[in-house]
Structure 1
Amino acid sequence: MSQRLEVVDPTIAPPVWAALRNEAYAQAKSEAALASLIAAVILNHDTLGDALSYQLARKLGDQELRAMSLRDTIEEAFEANPRIVETAELDLKAVFERDPACKGYVQPFLFFKGFLALQTQRVAHWLWHEGRETLAFYLQSRMSELFQVDIHPATQIGRGVFIDHGTGIVIGETAVIGDDVSMLQNVTLGGTGAERGDRHPKVGRGVLLGAGAKVLGNITIGDYAKVASGSVVLRNVPAGCTAAGVPARLVNCPAGEEPAKSMDHTLAEAVYDYVI
């Protein structure tokens, strides 16, 4: 194994990277069957960006676009825009803090397809703005095939976003997702027809989108709002409110201080009379 297989001082290395490496070191020692994988993906690298580029290339590479060539492209994106790696660190931290099933940083970095799909989209988004749309679409296609998550490369996504489970998520081209948003499986941020132009939802900061929520059209979900599981939202939701039902109605305002971080999916007893 590489000589870099050592415990890292968190006072020197960035905290998430240090925690990830230290967890990986302990797990490589305790689970011999996965030691080579853990070393190749995490322990043989000096930075989070190096490890992430290796992991994404390893997952996404195929016969048409080999992993080594794809890694060169990913590293190009990271070098041109270091914010991508900084954002990945915040995304990884969000998974650890909001998912009660998450035991540490190694688990999502190696295995959680919501996290991996999100990082794939961030690279595709960079390619899109560089005018390399064909390669961006290629990554979108691979993301959909591997992770069952379909996010358009042009979608604007903030920092500290948590995609739980990931399966069945579909997000359209002109959607905008703010910082600190959490969403569960089978969420759709889509359009309402064949119209072109700006046609997808704008999701504010700290919003919680429950499993199976469908938010359709060029509408706004205000900051710290909540969309209940299985709801269909066709009109704006005010900041701090909860929308529930088919079609969705406002259930309670406020929804809670930071529903995306608390992951609180409960609903109030009283339901307002009007449809949003």
Structure 2
Amino acid sequence: MATFLDRFPHSSSEPGFLEEFWTTMRAQACGCSDALIQGLFAVNICNHADFASALTSLISAKLTDRAMSEAALMHLVASTLEASPDIVRAAASDIVATFQRDPACPDLATPFLFFKGFHALQSYRIAHHLWLAGRRPLAYHFQSRVNEKFGIDIHPAARIGQRITIDHGTGIVIGETTIIEDDVSLFQGVTLGGTGKNSGQRHPVIRQGCMIGAGAKILGHLEIGAHARVGAASVVLGNVPPRSTAVGNPARIVRFGDMDQDFTNYQI
């Protein structure tokens, strides 16, 4: 693991990243010695030739229902990943980010198999591709199935970057015009929502490197600056400056930039 992360600490665009990622994850999965769980590792990881195949199988098995068979879903997902290989790289980078940030994540195979935040995020990536291709009822079906299966509601039109961590995930809502840049961490119960029936851009912009705490509500067309933090259960109705920390209801700035400073009377 150290060798892999030393070679590819952040960038999934470097040559060899995906191949070495898959080799590392597959070795971890196939090294499991528990006979009762070996079959799960085999079906989902060890029996596949590459990461795209494993991801196709996983999403299809998770989202199949009586309206769409697993075989039909596998064909749809496989063709989507072939048309948009960046989805595969984004999924791998999400796993690496989760391993790096989450102390409860012991290896690369664990989030792939067991973390529903990862499953919801990759299903969203398929739905987003379908949305952009004009297949909107199908994209909505993916959104609905993700909500039913994982308790996470991500509109397929939202724009979400790479190296995203969705920790626990239950109750997360991400609205239609939300923009989430790279390296963002979201915890359970987060709402990135609008404030009514306004048309156009009406949801938050979450800049690179932000951390949004459990239960936080960020409402309206506002911006959470790069590397900012929003505390658990905060209600944010205005912009949060870069590298600052906002907490409370209504939220106020308690830390600005790299300087500890009391902003008790500064509400946003």
TM > 0.5? yes
Contact 1:91 1:161 (C-alpha < 8 Å) held by counterparts: yes
SS at match of 1:14: helix
> What amino acid is the match of 2:92?
E
Listed one character per residue, the Cα deviations across residues 8-60 of structure 1 (whole Å, up to 9, x for unaligned) are: xx798722211210111111xx1111222211110111111110000000111
1:19 aligns with 2:24: yes
> What amino acid is the match of 1:26?
G
> Which of 73, 77, 81 is 2:76 aligned to?
73
Q: Distance in 2 between matches of 1:209 and 1:69?
A: 36
Q: Distance in 1 between matches of 2:117 and 2:258?
A: 25
> What amino acid is the match of 2:155?
H
Where does structure 1 lack aligned partners over 5 or more consecutive residues? 1-9, 257-267
Q: Distance in 2 between matches of 1:235 and 1:186?
A: 19
1:122 aligns with 2:114: no
Listed one character per residue, the Cα deviations across residues 70-114 of structure 1 (whole Å, up to 9, x for unaligned) are: 011111111111100010010010111111011111111111000
> Which of 254, 265, 270 is 2:262 aligned to?
270
> What amino acid is the match of 2:266?
Y
> Which of 181, 196, 206 is 1:178 aligned to?
181
Q: Distance in 1 between matches of 2:198 and 2:217?
A: 18
Listed one character per residue, the Cα deviations across residues 96-136 of structure 1 (whole Å, up to 9, x for unaligned) are: 11110111111111110000000000000000000000110
Q: Distance in 2 between matches of 1:24 and 1:62?
A: 27
SS at match of 1:108: helix
Contact 1:225 1:255 (C-alpha < 8 Å) held by counterparts: no
Matches within 5 A, 1:1-276: 14-27=19-32, 30-254=33-257, 270-276=262-268
CA shift, 1:271, in A, is 3.1
- Count of residue correspondences: 255
Listed one character per residue, the Cα deviations across residues 213-268 of structure 1 (whole Å, up to 9, x for unaligned) are: 10000001110111011100000111111111100011101269xxxxxxxxxxx6
Contact 1:213 1:231 (C-alpha < 8 Å) held by counterparts: yes
Identity of aligned residues (%): 47
CA shift, 1:272, in A, is 3.6
Q: Distance in 1 between matches of 2:258 and 2:72?
A: 46
Contact 1:224 1:255 (C-alpha < 8 Å) held by counterparts: no
The normalised TM-score by structure 1 is 0.89
> What amino acid is the match of 1:271?
F
Where does structure 2 lack aligned partners over 5 or more consecutive residues? 8-15
CA shift, 1:196, in A, is 2.3
What's the counterpart of residue 11 of structure 2?
none
Contact 1:242 1:255 (C-alpha < 8 Å) held by counterparts: no
Contact 1:188 1:212 (C-alpha < 8 Å) held by counterparts: yes
Q: Distance in 2 between matches of 1:15 and 1:177?
A: 27
